[in-house]
């Protein structure tokens, strides 16, 4: 389906609707055309890549990339597209395709795996790809692993990025211009995130993107824009809904030290509580008091965190109440450090 930037539907395009069934599409843009990767049952669940023009014209019938059987992912590089997929209890694999969707070189095993239905994901930092996937690790449950690819070729050895007693599954990753941001679902019912540098080394500890109330949360996905990251996921209450969290990052590459301002609000949206983190530059480390103020959309002051201890970085928790301890209605609010830009907070039921 093609839509405008305003999300108006232009048309529906049949990329492949032949007998046998096609499934699990992934798409990227090479600057001229879209490259679509998907499973095609006509090829015994083979991985297929095809081109679609920006006008919605299917340019070829599709080229077989491999006989893999799970979760293709298409990620653009400098002058090629990396196609990833997994083989049951065998390996996460990758292969480059050119701008005509023609497979190049040979299939490269990114890593051997012991898991079924392992969904790989990747991001491109302008030079290299970081590939991430779930697999069983030393914890005995699913952990998140990663590996750097240079021109589609794995380097070094796979890295254990996230390990814990709970199952960590279904990762996604984006490059925000400074760092990679990895998200995943936890068996504890939370969606978490982690900043990684270009060598896939952690920059921060795990960040809780959802709230901490237990719900069945699955299949997170993440995207990045100028100064923020947007993560969304499916969540089951009385039925499945989609939720999201917007993180406004400042100075993450410097370990949280940057201009005075709010680094992140997470989870966002929130139900019961959210953590508001701020940072200060070296010149502001004085004994002066700081405060974070919460405003509603009309500009009315809702809550004032007075006399915060000045230090390089810290956080406060807001439980969605006003100065009188009364719960505020659901809606949009703004958190602001004096002299810095406000950051939007969304309160939900």
Distance CA 317, CA 270 (A): 11
Q: Does residue 292 share a domain with residue 245? A: no
Domain boundary among 209, 244, 272: 272
Q: Is the pLDDT of residue 325 over 50?
A: yes
Q: Which residues pair with 123 in a beta bridge?
A: 130
Distance CA 27, CA 13 (A): 14
- Over residues 290-319, the mean pLDDT reads 79
Maximum C-alpha span of the chain: 71
Q: Does residue 281 share a domain with residue 135? A: no
Give the per-residue SS3 of the chain.
CEECCCCCEEECCCCCCCCCCEEEEEEEECCCEEEEEEEEHHHCCEEEEEEEECCCCECCCCEEEECCCEEEEEEECCCCEEEEEEECCCEEEEEEECCCCCECCCCEEEEECCCCCCCCEEEECCCCEEEEEEEECCCCCEEEEEEEEECCEECCCCEEEECCCCCEEEEEEEECCCCEEEEEEECCCCEEEEEECCCCCECCCCEECCCCCCCEEEEEEEEEECCEEEEEEEEECCCEEEEEEEEECCCHHHCCCCCCEEEEEECCCECCCEEEEEECCHHHCCCCCEEEEEEECCCCEEEEEEEECCCCEEEEEECCECCCCCECCCEEEEEECCCCCCEEEEECC
CATH classification of the domain holding 129: 2.120.10.10
Q: Is the pLDDT of residue 141 over 90?
A: yes
Highest mean pLDDT among 7-21, 24-38, 294-308: 24-38
Higher-pLDDT residue of 96 and 336 is: 96
Q: How many CB atoms lie within 10 A of CB 218?
A: 15
Write out the residue range of the structural domain in which residue 296 sits.
Answer: 276-347
Higher-pLDDT residue of 309 and 102 is: 102
Q: Does residue 171 share a domain with residue 37? A: yes
Q: Hey, what are 131's tokens?
A: 């590939």
Highest mean pLDDT among 54-68, 207-221, 295-309: 54-68
pTM of the model: 0.72
Higher-pLDDT residue of 262 and 191 is: 191
Residue 254 — φ and ψ, nearest 5°?
A: -100, 25
Domain boundary among 239, 272, 305: 272
With bands split at pLDDT 50, 70 and 90, how would you rate the model's confidence at 288? low
Contacts of residue 325, defined as CB under 8 A and 6 or more positions apart, other chains included, come to: none
CATH classification of the domain holding 308: 2.60.40.4070
Q: Does residue 202 share a domain with residue 241? A: yes
Residue given tokens 């014209």 in the structure block? 57
Q: Which of 81-90, 99-108, 137-146, 328-337 has the lowest mean pLDDT?
A: 328-337
pLDDT digits (tens, 9 = 90+) for 203-234: 877 888 887 778 899 999 999 876 678 898 99
Domain boundary among 257, 272, 287: 272
């Amino acid at each position: 389906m093609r839509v405008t930037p305003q999300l108006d539907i232009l048309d529906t395009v049949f990329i492949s609707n032949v007998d046998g069934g096609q499934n699990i599409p992934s798409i990227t843009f090479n600057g001229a055309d879209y490259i679509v990767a998907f499973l095609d049952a006509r090829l015994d669940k083979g991985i297929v890549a095809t081109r679609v023009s920006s006008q919605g014209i299917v340019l070829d019938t599709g080229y077989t990339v491999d006989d893999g059987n799970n979760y293709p992912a298409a990620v653009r590089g400098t002058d090629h597209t990396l196609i990833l997929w997994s083989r049951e209890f065998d390996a996460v694999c990758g292969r480059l395709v050119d701008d005509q969707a023609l497979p190049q070189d040979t299939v490269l095993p990114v890593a051997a795996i012991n898991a079924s239905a392992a969904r790989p994901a990747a991001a491109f930092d302008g030079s290299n790809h970081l590939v991430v996937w779930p697999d069983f690790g030393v914890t005995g449950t699913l952990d998140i692993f990663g590996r750097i690819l240079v021109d589609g070729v794995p380097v070094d050895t796979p890295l254990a990025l996230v390990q814990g007693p709970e199952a960590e599954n279904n990762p996604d990753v984006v490059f925000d211009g400074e760092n990679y941001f990895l998200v995943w679902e936890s068996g504890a019912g939370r969606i978490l995130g982690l900043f990684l540098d270009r060598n896939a080394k952690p920059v921060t500890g795990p960040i809780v993107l959802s709230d901490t109330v237990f719900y069945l949360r699955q299949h997170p996905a993440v995207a990045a824009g100028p100064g923020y990251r947007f993560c969304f996921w499916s969540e089951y209450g009385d039925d499945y809904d989609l939720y999201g969290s917007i993180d406004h990052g400042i100075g993450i590459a410097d370990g949280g030290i940057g201009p005075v301002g709010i680094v992140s609000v997470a989870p966002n949206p929130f139900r019961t509580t959210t953590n508001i983190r701020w940072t200060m530059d070296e010149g502001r480390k004085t004994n002066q008091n700081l405060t974070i103020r919460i405003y509603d959309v009309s500009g009315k002051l809702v809550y004032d965190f007075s006399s915060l201890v000045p230090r390089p970085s810290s956080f406060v928790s807001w439980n969605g109440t006003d100065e009188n301890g009364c719960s505020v209605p659901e809606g949009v609010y703004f958190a602001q450090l004096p002299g810095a830009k406000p950051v939007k907070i969304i309160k939900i039921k």
